[in-house]
Structure 1
Amino acid sequence: MSTTDPRITVGVDGSAGSTAAVAWAAKIASLRHLELRIVHGLQVAGLYYGGGMTGIGAATLFEAVQADGERAIADARTLAASIDKDLVITTELPNDPPVPMLIEESRHARMLVVGRTGTGGFAEMLVGGTAATVASHAHGPVAVIRGRRGTTTLPDSGPVVVGVDGSPNSEQAIAVAFEEASLRGVPLVAVHAWNDITYEDTRGTARILTQPETLEEGEERLLTERLAGWPEKYPDVEVRRLLVRDRPRHALLEASETAQLVVVGSRGRGGFTGMLLGSTSQALVQHAQCPVLVVRPERKK
């Protein structure tokens, strides 16, 4: 995994999802011996812009929002320190909208970590498609912390799962997945899903491919080729190959039910040019049963 600065950055807002993200990020930072940076965007300007609030009212509102932010930061710091008392922790509380702030923070982080949902209201950090927005525009890997069955209960066992589709972005995901599996001391499940139906045009006209047996042989060969060399680089990682006749999102969502982490490229070989987050990664960010690590293409400097 390429790095900019040796730190893990986590966005917080005081919600249960945010708390789970802090705990997960602290464990990763401790495991990697990296600094943990905790950030919270106040977004004060949007609270009373155009609302006619001036003087004491605006000042009181600012103080209340700032106090909430400081409390979220303090609680997150306490939780992280309880996980590793020797962890180096830094914090930041800018008066910036959360999404642009998180994207900018991703420039300087080895990994950006966000919760699956936010608190709602003024301080909302990750409601609806915000996690997907951050994953779409970040400058490095983004971990969206999801628990089993839509809860904040995070799995502490199971393999690392990686989606393999032959795209350049998938190649980067494989590299990251091997590293994550090695650090955790768990097997790696490489999932390659294929089907014999394609869509020929924007109207969704379906075409069934002939000779599915021949197609499957080719897909099996693709999976073998994409994994070539990695077991030698990570001899401690047990590799399990899973070739399934299904849509990638279905296969990976099912695999997430028993995994502790799913690693996926932000956009696969089937994505449309210009899309920043493909349908498979979108589905995982919104519905996976474990944390999802979205790996983005390395940006040219």
Structure 2
Amino acid sequence: MRDEAPVAAVAVVDGPVVVAVDGSAGSDHALEWALTAARLRNAPLRVVHVRQYAMPLADGPYMPTIDHRPDADPVVDRVRAALEGRADLPPLTVEVVEGTAGRDIPRLGDEARLLVLGSRGRGGFTSLLLGSNGLACARDAACPVVVVRPDEELTSGAQPCVVLGLDALSPHDDTIGFAFAEAALRGAALRVVCAYPGPVLVYTATGDFVTSAEADAATAAHCTELAGEQLAPFQERYPKVRVEREVLPGDAAGLLVEASREAELVVVGRHQHRKPLGRLMGSVTNAVLLHAKGAVAVVPPEPR
């Protein structure tokens, strides 16, 4: 049995929802997603364009003249034009930050309750599903990060749905809490997907590996019990959220990607591993970011 412990608070700052824009179609979708997120939270929205200009090595007649004034940016002009005259906008600011996207966009999460960006900006290859900036933010930002991918394959179910990837053996209360809170804000059902390795194989006296239905059932029952214990405190906190729990054998990433086809949002935790060359996200989180449909939220664990 799991020791009873107080439910950890989700790492939410009393700051704005922040969305990074770069003039691409992907960032347009991210802006719309962020507008909805800010309204649901009654939070201000901060729209930021991180721009980087190559500085000329020497003055000359053929060197372009760069206007660094924040109000002279075409990306900012496009955002203001898109929002002009729209009703029900949250309190918002539109600004430019000078720097590099891979370094400075993750830093925007330091004072944000949520950081939103598109899956791929203007500079990426068209065949890539997720750009380097999205990976950097999901890996490094201090707050939850939502990567928005427009996808025509999404199908709407009878009720809005948020999908939570639950690791029964290594759960993060922060991730569970974020998923419940998001489902409550959206009036959505919460579909909890908990995967375990399967089918379970046993070694026989004849030297063969065979499927053991008994062992598989025992593993499923154990994971079901763990998942129930982990979800119970949050179900008490959010009694109006309808929870659909699925404990299934197989690959967690594959199950979550399949579930994402009918989800408004897929929520996963950020399990990081330290490597000689830096930090790497867990394989499931990385795979979901690369292949899931629609929007994916990556929730960092609270510092302990």
- What is the TM-score when the length of structure 1 is the normalising length? 0.82
**Structure 2 unaligned regions, length at least 5:** 1-9, 201-208
1:290 to 1:167, Cα distance in 2 relative to 1, 3 A: farther
SS at match of 1:101: helix
- Of 70, 74, 92, the match for 1:89: 92
1:75 to 1:178, Cα distance in 2 relative to 1, 3 A: same
Q: What do residues 214-262 of structure 1 show as CA deviations (whole Å, max 9, x unaligned)?
A: 1111111121111112112111110000111111100000000011100
- Of 8, 29, 37, the match for 1:28: 37
- Of 242, 248, 251, the match for 1:244: 248
Q: Which range moves more in the overlay, 6-15 or 93-102? A: 93-102
User: How many angstroms apart in 2 are the aligned matches of 1:17 and 1:297?
Assistant: 27
1:286 to 1:105, Cα distance in 2 relative to 1, 3 A: same
SS at match of 2:163: strand
* 2:32 is equivalent to residue 10 of structure 1: no
* Distance apart, 1:54 and its partner CA: 2.5
* 2:188 is equivalent to residue 186 of structure 1: yes
User: How many angstroms apart in 2 are the aligned matches of 1:107 and 1:34?
Assistant: 16
C-alpha contact (below 8 Å) 1:115/1:144 kept by paired residues: yes
Q: What do residues 120-158 of structure 1 show as CA deviations (whole Å, max 9, x unaligned)?
A: 28xxxx9633211111011110000012258xx897963
C-alpha contact (below 8 Å) 1:165/1:192 kept by paired residues: yes
C-alpha contact (below 8 Å) 2:102/2:132 kept by paired residues: no
- CA-atom RMSD, angstroms? 3.0
What amino acid is aligned across from residue 17 of structure 2 in structure 1? I
Percent of aligned positions that are identical: 32
C-alpha contact (below 8 Å) 1:162/1:264 kept by paired residues: yes
What amino acid is aligned across from residue 15 of structure 1 in structure 2? S
What corresponds to 1:203 in structure 2? none
**1:95-114 → structure 2 map (5 Å cutoff):** 95-114=98-117
What corresponds to 2:261 in structure 1? 257
Q: What do residues 246-300 of structure 1 show as CA deviations (whole Å, max 9, x unaligned)?
A: 1110000000001110010012xxx745554111111121211110000011236
User: How many angstroms apart in 2 are the aligned matches of 1:185 and 1:94?
Assistant: 35
What corresponds to 2:167 in structure 1? 165
1:258 to 1:25, Cα distance in 2 relative to 1, 3 A: same
User: How many angstroms apart in 2 are the aligned matches of 1:169 and 1:129?
Assistant: 27
- What is the TM-score when the length of structure 2 is the normalising length? 0.81
1:243 to 1:82, Cα distance in 2 relative to 1, 3 A: farther
User: How many angstroms apart in 2 are the aligned matches of 1:279 and 1:57?
Assistant: 48
**1:7-86 → structure 2 map (5 Å cutoff):** 7-44=16-53, 47-48=54-55, 52-55=57-60, 57-60=62-65, 62-63=66-67, 70-80=73-83, 84-86=87-89
Which of structures 1 and 2 has the bigger CA Rg? 2
Q: What do residues 162-198 of structure 1 show as CA deviations (whole Å, max 9, x unaligned)?
A: 0100366632111000000000001000110111379
SS at match of 1:228: helix
1:224 to 1:127, Cα distance in 2 relative to 1, 3 A: closer
* Distance apart, 1:16 and its partner CA: 0.4
What corresponds to 1:266 in structure 2? 270
C-alpha contact (below 8 Å) 2:199/2:250 kept by paired residues: no
C-alpha contact (below 8 Å) 2:265/2:296 kept by paired residues: yes
* Distance apart, 1:79 and its partner CA: 3.4
1:252 to 1:185, Cα distance in 2 relative to 1, 3 A: same
User: How many angstroms apart in 1 are the aligned matches of 2:287 and 2:13?
Assistant: 28
C-alpha contact (below 8 Å) 1:148/1:289 kept by paired residues: yes
C-alpha contact (below 8 Å) 2:15/2:43 kept by paired residues: yes
User: How many angstroms apart in 2 are the aligned matches of 1:296 and 1:208?
Assistant: 39
C-alpha contact (below 8 Å) 2:146/2:296 kept by paired residues: yes
* 2:154 is equivalent to residue 145 of structure 1: no
What corresponds to 1:135 in structure 2? 138
In the alignment of these two chains, the number of paired residues is 277
Query: Greater share of helix residues, 1 or 2?
Result: 1
Query: Greater share of strand residues, 1 or 2?
Result: 2
